[in-house]
């Protein structure tokens, strides 16, 4: 029952804000929204602290012949972690939005959507049934669409929302196919029933492989991996708190959550895992390369998010859901922090997002600067921050899988260090490069409080899982590995030696810090110069390797052509032609017959006379 309330509180908030009150006062609607999520957070905390796994049958949802789909809410360890992340960071971001959206025309709409998003996300997390997860999956997609296009009077924003929604639909196809396969061959979509069946080999192997690929395909959509990642950078058109909550901290990690939740389905599928590893690594690389030259502060962070999601998928592919989930949690903290910091900067700069027009902001925005610095250090893996531990964990797993992946991921991490320090230095150091930057102002305390709390979290959460050489805490691994009922992952190989661990950590840290220092020195005193009109590889990177254009030529143009053709021939010629034929036929017959309709009463009298005469003649002829 308590789980149902966790779910229903945001729903209540959304209804209250969106339908009942509709207040233009951001403080009022913001308070309602924040309290609803805070309530969910407190209840979640209660569930987590009680330490028990709960399973709650809300109602029997779909009963059709042999298909039996109940609506259940269940907690396992993965669920609890995600629940805390979503409601906890959700609360902070709601609080932040109260100040951030205070000048908006319709804050009630914003908070209603945001609460609705949390309800959908919690459905996704808590549902014990894959169909319920799918409902949440679609729900977060819808809210993402609504919030990206929140300022819908700008065409670009509406288009970005549409792009996100449609790209996700392409991915969702995989989810639907996987669901159908499981319903047909496994007879259940209830995760707690599915996992034992997988363990006891009751389901044909190809079904599992196909279903795992289907879920992975869906995840590439929702979690922005190659080939479906292009929507996420465009999604930055939404308000900054939305970018922080949905497009960095929570929704985009649902692919990783799904994989971890149903890990036994993936664990014995080497093909699926290998494609995850390759795609994750490639995404981490590609997105990091694009992030190197972006000018929009939010675009840098967006590509950084794509890149970090690539790290998480690489961890899954290397067979470590614990590493992926650990990075999900740390990333949620520091990326939310970075986005909120960027929002504070944008706010202080009067909606200016161009890094080349910032500079010297550290003098005007002390707290934003400090917290953004902490976020930057965390994401590049500065020793003892949260990103240090989680990235190190993933790199160690990649090293176990093969040195090639280690090198690739390490270089992606170095790129991260470069572009993050570039972003930080461009925004906060050097001379002010525009009037807005000269007169930037610090944001209000309501806006800064979440920043400070998230900064503390970004520093602290890393200590939940530390390598042997740093105290040997393995909470995460223990937690995650206890979340599949009786199913246990196969233990593999001996543990890494201390020397290897030291070496990996040392190499990663030293190289990252060198790159970071180089980047900082390079952009510390940046003056508008050749980079403003880049050439060569920089232009390639700035234009995102023309992937959007490529997709446009490959998919969108043929699709548009097909639509035009079908509009012209199927709709125009075939359907319209048929209807017009009927119409012309009726009209022709009518005009032919209307010759007899003269309107003159005597004509009708003639018809009557002739008719009567004919009838009489026929009658007489028959009688004789």
One residue of 499, 602, 620, 621 binding other proteins per CB under 8 A: 602
For other proteins, give the closer residue by CB, 563 or 598.
598
Kindly state whether residue 597 participates in binding other proteins, applying the rule CB under 8 A: yes
SS3 110: helix
Q: What's the min distance (Å) between Cβ of 14 and other proteins?
A: 59
For other proteins, give the closer residue by CB, 200 or 624.
624
Q: What's the min distance (Å) between Cβ of 594 and other proteins?
A: 6
Kindly state whether residue 616 participates in binding other proteins, applying the rule CB under 8 A: no
Q: What's the min distance (Å) between Cβ of 614 and other proteins?
A: 15
One residue of 200, 594, 620, 624 binding other proteins per CB under 8 A: 594
Kindly state whether residue 569 participates in binding other proteins, applying the rule CB under 8 A: no
Residue 296 DSSP label = B
Residues 6+ apart with CB under 8 A from 123: 7, 132, 133, 135, 136, 139
For other proteins, give the closer residue by CB, 564 or 597.
597
Continuous segment of H or E residues that includes residue 479 = helix 475-481
> Counting beta carbons within 10 angstroms of the beta carbon of residue 506, is it exposed (0 to 12), middle (13 to 18) or buried (19 or more)?
exposed
Q: What's the min distance (Å) between Cβ of 605 and other proteins?
A: 6
For other proteins, give the closer residue by CB, 490 or 601.
601
Q: How many CA atoms lie within 13 A of 277 on its CB side?
A: 24
For other proteins, give the closer residue by CB, 469 or 614.
614
409 contacts 280 by C-beta, under 8 angstroms: no
Q: What's the min distance (Å) between Cβ of 602 and other proteins?
A: 6
210 to 158, 207, 214, 317: CA distances (angstroms): 35, 5, 6, 16
Q: Is the peptide bond between 227 and the residue preceding it cis, with omega within 30 degrees of 0?
A: yes
Binding-site size, other proteins (CB under 8 A): 10
Kindly state whether residue 66 participates in binding other proteins, applying the rule CB under 8 A: no
Closest residue by Cα to residue 349 from 402, 296, 392, 301? 296
Q: What's the min distance (Å) between Cβ of 606 and other proteins?
A: 6
Q: What's the min distance (Å) between Cβ of 592 and other proteins?
A: 13
Kindly state whether residue 587 participates in binding other proteins, applying the rule CB under 8 A: no
β-strand partners of 69: 62
Tokens 């032919």 correspond to what residue?
592
Q: What's the min distance (Å) between Cβ of 612 and other proteins?
A: 10
Query: Residues for the chain: how many in total?
Result: 624
Torsion of CA 377, 378, 382, 384, to 10 degrees: 140
Phi–psi pair at 465, nearest 5 degrees:
-150, 105
Closest residue by Cα to residue 308 from 373, 386, 383? 386
For other proteins, give the closer residue by CB, 67 or 613.
613
Task: Select from 19-27, 504-512, 525-533, 596-604 the region that touches other proteins (CB under 8 A).
Answer: 596-604
Q: What's the min distance (Å) between Cβ of 609 and other proteins?
A: 6
Closest residue by Cα to residue 195 from 203, 184, 204, 185? 203
SS3 101: coil
d(CA 412, CA 188): 40
One residue of 499, 532, 592, 601 binding other proteins per CB under 8 A: 601
The distance of Cα 47 from the centroid of its chain, to the nearest Å, equals: 26
d(CA 283, CA 300): 15
Kindly state whether residue 620 participates in binding other proteins, applying the rule CB under 8 A: no
For other proteins, give the closer residue by CB, 561 or 605.
605
Task: Select from 326-334, 451-459, 567-575, 599-607 the region that touches other proteins (CB under 8 A).
Answer: 599-607
For other proteins, give the closer residue by CB, 601 or 623.
601
Kindly state whether residue 536 participates in binding other proteins, applying the rule CB under 8 A: no
Kindly state whether residue 586 participates in binding other proteins, applying the rule CB under 8 A: no
One residue of 156, 565, 606, 611 binding other proteins per CB under 8 A: 606
435 contacts 88 by C-beta, under 8 angstroms: no
Kindly state whether residue 598 participates in binding other proteins, applying the rule CB under 8 A: yes
d(CA 325, CA 313): 10
Task: Select from 306-314, 316-324, 466-474, 598-606 the region that touches other proteins (CB under 8 A).
Answer: 598-606
Task: Select from 168-176, 257-265, 475-483, 601-609 the region that touches other proteins (CB under 8 A).
Answer: 601-609
Closest residue by Cα to residue 293 from 229, 203, 354? 354
d(CA 564, CA 474): 58
For other proteins, give the closer residue by CB, 49 or 593.
593
Rg (CA), the chain: 31
Kindly state whether residue 624 participates in binding other proteins, applying the rule CB under 8 A: no
Task: Select from 297-305, 345-353, 539-547, 604-612 the region that touches other proteins (CB under 8 A).
Answer: 604-612
β-strand partners of 354: 296
Closest residue by Cα to residue 204 from 431, 257, 212? 212
Torsion of CA 107, 109, 113, 114, to 10 degrees: 10
Task: Select from 199-207, 353-361, 541-549, 597-605 the region that touches other proteins (CB under 8 A).
Answer: 597-605
Kindly state whether residue 623 participates in binding other proteins, applying the rule CB under 8 A: no
Kindly state whether residue 609 participates in binding other proteins, applying the rule CB under 8 A: yes
Kindly state whether residue 200 participates in binding other proteins, applying the rule CB under 8 A: no
> Crossing angle of helices 403-428/297-317, nearest 10°?
160
Residues 6+ apart with CB under 8 A from 361: 345, 348, 349, 368, 369, 427, 428, 432, 437, 440
Q: What's the min distance (Å) between Cβ of 576 and other proteins?
A: 27
Kindly state whether residue 488 participates in binding other proteins, applying the rule CB under 8 A: no
Kindly state whether residue 589 participates in binding other proteins, applying the rule CB under 8 A: no
One residue of 605, 614, 615, 616 binding other proteins per CB under 8 A: 605
Kindly state whether residue 614 participates in binding other proteins, applying the rule CB under 8 A: no
Q: What's the min distance (Å) between Cβ of 585 and other proteins?
A: 18
For other proteins, give the closer residue by CB, 66 or 602.
602
For other proteins, give the closer residue by CB, 577 or 590.
590
Which spans of this chain sit near other proteins (rule: CB under 8 A)?
594, 597-602, 605-606, 609
């Amino acid at each position: 029952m308590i789980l149902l309330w966790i779910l229903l509180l945001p729903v209540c908030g959304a209804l209250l804000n969106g339908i009942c009150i509709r207040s233009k006062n951001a403080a009022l609607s913001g308070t309602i929204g924040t309290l609803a999520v805070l309530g969910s957070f407190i209840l979640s905390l209660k569930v987590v602290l009680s330490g028990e796994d709960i399973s709650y049958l809300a109602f029997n949802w779909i009963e059709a012949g042999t298909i039996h789909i109940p609506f259940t809410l269940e907690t396992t360890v993965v669920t609890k972690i995600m629940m805390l992340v979503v409601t906890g960071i959700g609360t902070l971001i709601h609080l932040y939005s109260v100040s951030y959206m205070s000048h908006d025309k319709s804050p009630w709409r914003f908070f209603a959507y945001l609460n609705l998003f949390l309800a959908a996300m919690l459905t996704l997390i808590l549902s014990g049934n894959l169909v319920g997860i799918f409902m949440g999956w679609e729900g977060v997609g819808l809210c993402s669409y609504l919030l990206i296009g929140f300022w819908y009077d700008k065409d670009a924003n509406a288009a970005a929302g549409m792009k996100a929604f449609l790209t996700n639909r392409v991915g969702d196809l995989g989810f639907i196919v996987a669901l159908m396969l499981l319903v047909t061959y496994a007879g259940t979509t209830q995760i707690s029933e599915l996992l034992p069946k997988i363990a006891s080999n009751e389901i044909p192997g190809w079904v599992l492989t196909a279903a795992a690929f289907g879920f992975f395909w869906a995840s590439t959509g929702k979690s922005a991996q190659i080939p479906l990642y292009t929507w996420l950078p465009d999604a930055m058109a939404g308000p900054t708190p939305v970018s922080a909550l949905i497009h960095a901290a929570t929704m985009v990690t649902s692919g990783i959550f799904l994989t971890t939740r149903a890990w036994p389905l993936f664990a014995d599928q080497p093909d699926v895992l290998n494609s995850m590893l390759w795609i994750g690594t490639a995404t981490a690389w590609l997105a990091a390369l694009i992030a190197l030259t972006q000018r929009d502060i939010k675009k840098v962070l967006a590509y950084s998010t794509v890149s970090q999601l690539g790290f998480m998928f690489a961890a899954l592919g290397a067979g470590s859901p614990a590493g992926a989930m650990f990075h999900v949690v740390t990333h949620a903290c520091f990326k939310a922090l970075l986005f909120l910091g960027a929002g504070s900067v944008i706010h202080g700069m009067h909606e200016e997002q161009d890094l080349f027009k910032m500079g010297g902001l550290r003098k005007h925005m002390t707290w934003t600067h400090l917290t953004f610095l902490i976020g930057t250090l965390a994401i590049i893996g500065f020793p003892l921050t949260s990103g240090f531990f989680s990235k190190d964990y993933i790199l160690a797993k990649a090293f176990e899988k093969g040195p090639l992946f280690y090198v690739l991921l390490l270089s992606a991490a170095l790129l991260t260090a470069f572009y993050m320090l570039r972003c930080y230095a461009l925004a906060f150091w050097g001379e002010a490069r525009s009037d807005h930057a000269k007169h930037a102002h610090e944001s209000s305390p309501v806006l800064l409080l979440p920043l400070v709390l998230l900064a503390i979290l970004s520093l602290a959460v890393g200590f939940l899982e530390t390598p042997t050489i740093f105290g040997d805490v393995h909470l995460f691994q223990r937690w995650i590995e206890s979340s599949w009922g009786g199913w246990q992952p196969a233990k593999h190989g001996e543990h890494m030696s201390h020397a290897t661990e030291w070496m990996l950590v040392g190499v990663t840290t030293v190289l990252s810090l060198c790159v970071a220092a180089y980047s900082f020195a390079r952009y510390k005193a940046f003056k508008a110069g050749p980079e403003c009109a880049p050439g060569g590889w920089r232009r390639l990177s700035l234009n995102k390797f023309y992937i959007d254009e490529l997709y446009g030529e490959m998919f969108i143009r043929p699709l548009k052509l097909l639509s035009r053709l079908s509009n012209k021939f199927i709709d125009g010629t075939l359907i319209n032609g048929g209807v017009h034929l009927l119409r012309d036929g009726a009209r022709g017959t009518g005009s032919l017959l209307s010759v007899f309709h003269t309107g003159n009463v005597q004509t009708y009298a003639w018809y009557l006379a002739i008719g009567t005469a004919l009838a009489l003649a026929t009658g007489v002829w028959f009688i004789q």
